[in-house]
Amino acid sequence: MSAAEYAARNNLARVGARPPLMTYLRQAWERRDFAYELARSRVQAMNERNRLGMLWIVLKPTMNALMYGFIFGVLQGGRRPEDFPVFVVIGVFLFEFFSASMTDGARAITGNSALVQSLSFPRITLPISTVLKQFMMLVPMLGVMAVYCMILGTMPRWSWLLIIPLVAIFSVFNTGIALICARLTVHVRDLTQLLPLVNRMLFYTSGVLFSVDRVLNAFPGLVVIFDYHPIYQTLSIARGVMMDGAEYAYPPIYWLSLSIIAIVTLIAGVVFFWKAEERYGRAN
């Protein structure tokens, strides 16, 4: 009797073998407390390392908004959208959530090789914990963003509450992106060197700092493409629910389109990540 036959006869599973997808997801759900505690402890550790602690969570996007807002405000001249300071604050703060989820998610496996090699658990909990960590950091940022909007002259209204379901949908999308990047960097370590470039390219081409309708009005084909850009859709919805003026009205179909894109991205990310589960234990 061969070893394989003996293992099958006695229901023995190979160490590190990839379980079926639904079993894998159930195991991940059973370890949800691990993902949460890992995210929480890392936020706490990061705050303890910095002299200003939690303040850096809001200081970084604030300084980015001031710097980029000034530079791009001057460059755009008369093509600046109305209430440009509020426009930039919303764009920079929400893009920060996506950017950090993508870059931290990419390092979820390669940056935790000792943990991956020494313990047996669904590796999917690691990139999920990175997005959860960024979500924990986003919550105070949203409060500060709302305060900035009021200081800059935008009065609060009930529609601001729509930011809650919007962030939920955006979190689903970011989780899918984090899972995809986490696996890709295991196969191609050099990708971590390219991600800052990709991140910067997305920052400058997602409508974070400019009005697509105003800047690209001579290229209607490009404007149509932006209707399917998930980051642009997120920013458009956020500005539409928080800012006044007809300029910030957005097609309601954006909610449906963004939801579909987010769900598809998450499903693709989960399956793509799960397919290489056996590979992660050999990460070095």
When pLDDT is cut at 50, 70 and 90, the band that residue 54 belongs to is: low
At residue 12, the pLDDT reads 44
User: How many residues does this entry show for the chain?
Assistant: 284
At residue 207, the pLDDT reads 85
Whether the pLDDT of residue 99 is over 90: the answer is yes
At residue 238, the pLDDT reads 94
CB count within 10 Å of CB 167 equals: 19
Give the Cα separation of 198 and 45 in Å (integer): 28
At residue 95, the pLDDT reads 94
More confident residue, 201 or 217: 201
Indicate if the alpha-carbon torsion angle 26, 32, 178, 139 is positive or negative.
Answer: positive
CB count within 10 Å of CB 30 equals: 12
Whether the pLDDT of residue 3 is over 80: the answer is no
Nearest to 277 by CA among 79, 50, 109: 109
Rg (CA), the chain: 21
Whether the pLDDT of residue 53 is over 90: the answer is no
Give the Cα separation of 244 and 252 in Å (integer): 16
Per-residue pLDDT of 222-266, as tens digits, reads 888 888 899 999 999 999 999 887 778 888 999 999 999 999 999
At residue 6, the pLDDT reads 43
pTM assigned to the model: 0.87
Question: What is the average pLDDT score of the chain?
Answer: 84
Whether the pLDDT of residue 199 is over 70: the answer is yes
Per-residue pLDDT of 15-39, as tens digits, reads 556 788 999 999 999 999 999 999 9
